[in-house]
């Protein structure tokens, strides 16, 4: 799979902000790892991992925005893994924080 294919395969219906942003992934043991979100929407993100991707983890989009994420697909790319994740909101507040993050990112 090449970068052009990654751009062309867009099956989700939620509006996305197509901007690479550094994020932090925290697994269940609170181990932190840096990642890049290639795009983010109100329902999920497309992320790059240089290591294995946990089955569920918390994505820290910025200092104010954390949300539970679960992988829905994975594709190898060179020495990395492109992972599509779905957000699982534990509260309405979390959902609003992601929307606020998207607004700041798109501004």
**pLDDT digits 0-9 by tens, 70-100:** 999 999 988 899 999 999 999 999 999 999 9
Q: What is the mean pLDDT of the chain?
A: 86
pTM of the model: 0.82
What the block records as the tokens of 81 is: 């893994």
Cα–Cα distance between 99 and 94 in angstroms, integer?
9
pLDDT at 26: 93
Cβ 65 vs Cβ 49: under 8 Å:
no
Q: CA-to-CA distance for 91 and 33, rounded, in angstroms?
A: 24
């Amino acid at each position: 799979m090449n970068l052009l294919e990654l751009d062309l395969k867009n099956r989700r219906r939620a509006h996305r902000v197509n901007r690479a942003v550094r994020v932090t992934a925290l697994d269940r043991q609170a181990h932190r790892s840096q990642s890049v979100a290639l795009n983010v929407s109100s329902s999920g993100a497309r992320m790059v991992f240089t290591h294995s991707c946990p089955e569920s983890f918390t994505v820290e989009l910025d200092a104010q925005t954390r949300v539970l994420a679960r992988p829905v697909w994975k594709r190898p790319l060179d020495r990395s893994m492109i992972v599509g994740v779905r957000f699982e909101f534990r509260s309405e507040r979390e959902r609003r924080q992601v929307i606020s993050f998207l607004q700041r990112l798109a501004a």
